[in-house]
Amino acid sequence: SQIYSRSGGYMGVSFSIPIDVAMQVGEQLQTTGHVTRGKLGVVIQPVTQGLADSFGLPQPEGALVSSVEKGGPAEHAGIESGDVILKLNGTPLKDSSELPVQIAAIAPGTSVKLEIWRNHARREITVKLGTVADKRTAATGGPHQEGGRLGLAVRPLTAEEQDANTQGGLVVERASGPAAAAGIRPGDVVLAANGSPVHDAEELRSAVEKSKGHIALLIQRGDARLFVPVRVG
């Protein structure tokens, strides 16, 4: 079953619910008539080999944070977009699908320890989980400037295009070459490159030059944010 939950914020891959979690849900329904789950307040995506290379991870593992809920538990604890959550309470996350299931099984108000990967280093962050009710939904300018080796033609966001959640960034006008092959398309907004915000084409070009063959672009597409790994020549 494909589930999106603000408790972990999951996009894109199906997973099954362990029997102990299902039993816990059943017990809550019997005793209280409703279900409450722990809330982390992030949207995550799987870590592919390309994303692992872009972020300097030795291997694809964990859950990549593509966005953080404003005012949520994760933001208060200092979790940032671009962090890769590797462990929950000392237990490695082999796949991103494990995180929302495990968070959902923890009581709201509980403090959990997350081991994350940020800027090519591991660090530990403690987060006090919030509460989410059982509301599950399926989910999961200037002149045009060329993005060089990426194969992008971009322009800055106009004031009218910016909103409270999108400050800065570059609108994709055309995509070809490596960018198109990675799935980037016109209308996408490039917010960051390898974790660093980009406000103009020069910052994007500089990030590409500093990359070692792989770059992870944080893309805003409609209401969703996701990291897209691009292999550059």
Cα–Cα distance, 43 to 213 (Å, whole number): 26
Higher pLDDT: 103 or 127? It is 127
pLDDT at 30: 56
pLDDT at 24: 53
Residue 12: pLDDT over 60: no
Residue with tokens 């462990």, as numbered in its chain: 87
Kindly report each contact of residues 59-65 with a partner whose C-beta sits within 8 Å and lies 24 or more positions away, as own/partner: 61/86, 61/92, 61/93, 61/94, 61/95, 62/86, 62/87, 62/92, 62/93, 62/96, 62/117, 63/8, 63/93, 63/96, 63/98, 63/99, 64/96, 64/227
Q: pLDDT band at 17, cuts 50/70/90?
A: very low
CATH number given to 19-133: 2.30.42.10
Task: Answer left, alpha or beta for residue 182, where phi above 0 means left and psi between -120 and 50 means alpha.
Answer: alpha
Question: Within 10 Å of residue 3's Cβ, how many Cβ atoms?
Answer: 19
Cβ–Cβ < 8 Å for 228, 219: yes
Q: pLDDT band at 3, cuts 50/70/90?
A: very low
Tokens representing 80 are 């940032």
Question: Within 10 Å of residue 212's Cβ, how many Cβ atoms?
Answer: 10
Same fold? 19-133, 145-231: yes
Give pLDDT tens digits for 157-210: 776 677 655 567 898 988 888 888 899 999 999 999 988 898 888 888 888 888
Q: 3-state class of 24 per DSSP?
A: helix
Kindly report each contact of residues 112-116 with a partner whose C-beta sits within 8 Å and lies 24 or more positions away, as own/partner: 112/38, 112/88, 113/87, 113/88, 113/89, 114/79, 114/85, 114/87, 114/88, 115/85, 115/86, 115/87, 115/90, 116/79, 116/83, 116/84, 116/85, 116/86
Cβ–Cβ < 8 Å for 133, 34: yes
Q: Single out the residue of 31, 33, 43 nearest to residue 137, CA to CA.
A: 43
pLDDT at 219: 93
pLDDT at 150: 82
Cα–Cα distance, 9 to 191 (Å, whole number): 19
Cβ–Cβ < 8 Å for 230, 217: yes
Over range 17-46, report the average pLDDT.
64
pLDDT at 34: 52
Domain range list for the chain: 19-133, 145-231
pLDDT at 227: 93
Residue with tokens 């597409």, as numbered in its chain: 221
Cβ–Cβ < 8 Å for 27, 60: no
Q: pLDDT band at 9, cuts 50/70/90?
A: very low
Give pLDDT tens digits for 104-155: 888 889 999 999 999 999 999 999 999 875 333 222 233 344 445 788 888 8
Yes or no: is domain 145-231 CATH 2.30.42.10? yes
Q: pLDDT band at 28, cuts 50/70/90?
A: low
Give pLDDT tens digits for 65-91: 998 888 999 999 999 999 999 999 999
pLDDT at 121: 95
pLDDT at 10: 42
